[in-house]
């Protein structure tokens, strides 16, 4: 079975979405062959006093994309690769595909990530730090865009653009 890692101070998800979300993630990771990915469930980094669950899914393939985030109340904060996006009210219909249940949306996100269907275009500053991202994830026939940040450095110089194409979790 793929590993599930817990810290010494486990999260205390609220009943409902937070608890169900973590159970769904565990079920999705269990569908992978042994050793393909590791799921870590913890508290939000830098905030050990917060009881909400934070997760990271790390693939064994270093060219596949990692996924992390947190499910808090009814919201989902999701980071795929370098790109993040918050889905407010995810558990109450704030899903990507209108009218879809959050479990369906999560499964479609998972299928796209595992299949390597994310392309990220990152704008980097002179030190290699990410200034902005423009990422596209193919999701159930729809293209989901994660976009944020600035295109220029603090002193006006245009950043260097790097395009990342990820591999599937399983070859």
pLDDT tens, residue by residue, 125-169: 888 888 888 888 877 777 877 777 554 444 455 668 888 889 999
SS3 of 42, please? strand
pTM of the model: 0.81
CA distance readout (Å), 55 to 10, 85, 122: 11, 15, 23
Is pLDDT above 70 for 63? Answer: yes
pLDDT of residue 38: 94
72-97 residue pLDDT tens = 888 888 888 888 888 888 888 777 77
The long-range contacts involving 95-100, CB below 8 angstroms and separated by at least 24 positions, are 96/139, 96/142, 96/144, 97/139, 97/140, 97/142, 100/140
Which token pair is 52? Answer: 């909400």
């Amino acid at each position: 079975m793929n590993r599930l890692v817990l810290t010494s101070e486990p999260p205390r998800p609220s009943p409902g979405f937070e608890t169900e979300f973590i159970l769904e993630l565990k079920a999705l990771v269990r569908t992978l062959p042994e050793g393909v990915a590791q799921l870590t469930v913890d508290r939000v980094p830098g905030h050990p006093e917060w009881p909400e669950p934070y997760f990271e899914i790390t693939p064994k393939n270093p060219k596949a994309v990692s996924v992390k985030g947190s499910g808090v109340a009814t919201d989902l904060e999701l980071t795929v690769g370098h790109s993040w996006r918050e889905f407010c009210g995810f558990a109450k219909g704030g899903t990507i595909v209108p009218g879809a249940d959050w479990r369906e949306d999560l499964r479609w996100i998972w299928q796209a990530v595992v299949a390597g269907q994310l392309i990220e275009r990152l704008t980097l500053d002179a030190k290699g730090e990410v200034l902005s991202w423009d990422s596209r994830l193919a999701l159930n026939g729809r293209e989901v865009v994660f976009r944020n940040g600035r295109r220029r450095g603090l002193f006006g110089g245009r950043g260097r653009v790097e395009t990342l194409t990820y591999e599937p979790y399983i070859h």
